[in-house]
Amino acid sequence: MWQCYTSHQIQKEVLEGRAEMVQSELIREVKESEVFSGIADETKDLKKKQLMSLVVMYYYKGAIHETFLHFQSAESLDAAGLTQMIIYCLERHGLNYRNNLVGQGYDGASVMSGKHSGVSARIKNSARFAFYVHYNAQCLNLVLVNAVKSVPEAVNCFALLQKLYNFVSGSYVHLKWLAVQKELYPQQQSRELQRLTDVRWACRYTACRNLRDRLPAVLRVLQNITLEHSGDRSVEARGLSQIDLHFIGLLVTFCEVLGDAKCLSDMLQSSSLDLARAVDLVGTLTDTLQDYRGEGYFGELWKEVEEIAEHCKICVQTV
């Protein structure tokens, strides 16, 4: 049966053809550069299905390239299964990993980084030049996760952020959330609260920033729903609306700290970054965090806290 070019089947075939052309060009560049490194990671799609992505890094025509190569379902998540998938993918595209694979980049999970039976060790048994390097950006992420988990006030702060996201993202409340934003910020684009995750801490900066910038709107929504007397929803809104000066102080602090950390994280993921520059950037962030302990920074922070509290009609007690 004849089909027009706008049919979904024809469009799918066109996309598949273009994908093959792009992938063929990519493989050609990798082969011409000879040596390359591989980066693999696992994630879940919207259906909670486990997937593995494979990226290759190589030097071609005077520049370092970091390019997506393959994406496939991860049927087995143990070291043997993941190793087999990575090797199969490289062999399938005709890449000589035994002699030309000179680096591996994974997260710090034992199944990937294990020295004796992890994915990195298994691949190095076949590719003797494939040295394993832990993600620099992932190391920063782990530092942030462990640092925050050791501070009870920070744990409670992010727990409240997650509760607010869960509450506002519900269909009934979300419509009111958008309406209140249009009322309070008619000239600005609506913002969304962000779901938190330990895997990508950049989202935590966005979550803190959006809540800081839209805190009056959040409180207005919570107060309106509290007055509806709609059972469990009103009770939950009343509990979430108990936002005080202490919480605002934590929110402003994390906006600053995570904002600076995000800048470093973005730079560590840049293909143009070299090791010397990375060391300098880490040192700069360390110095900045140390400066945050001074009276000068606290004065600026407290001024911002007072301004936000005033907009939210939260009392600021002075001694």
User: From the first residue on, what is the mean pLDDT of each consecutive set of 10 residues in the chain (319 residues)?
Assistant: 71 85 88 90 77 88 85 82 89 90 85 86 90 77 82 92 93 93 93 83 86 94 90 91 90 92 83 82 90 86 91 76
How many Å apart are CA 237 and CA 119, to the nearest integer? 47
- H or E element that contains 105: strand 101-106
Q: What is the pTM of this model?
A: 0.71
Q: What is the reported pLDDT for 319?
A: 44
How many Å apart are CA 220 and CA 241, to the nearest integer? 9
Tokens of 109: 């999970």
How many Å apart are CA 180 and CA 183, to the nearest integer? 5
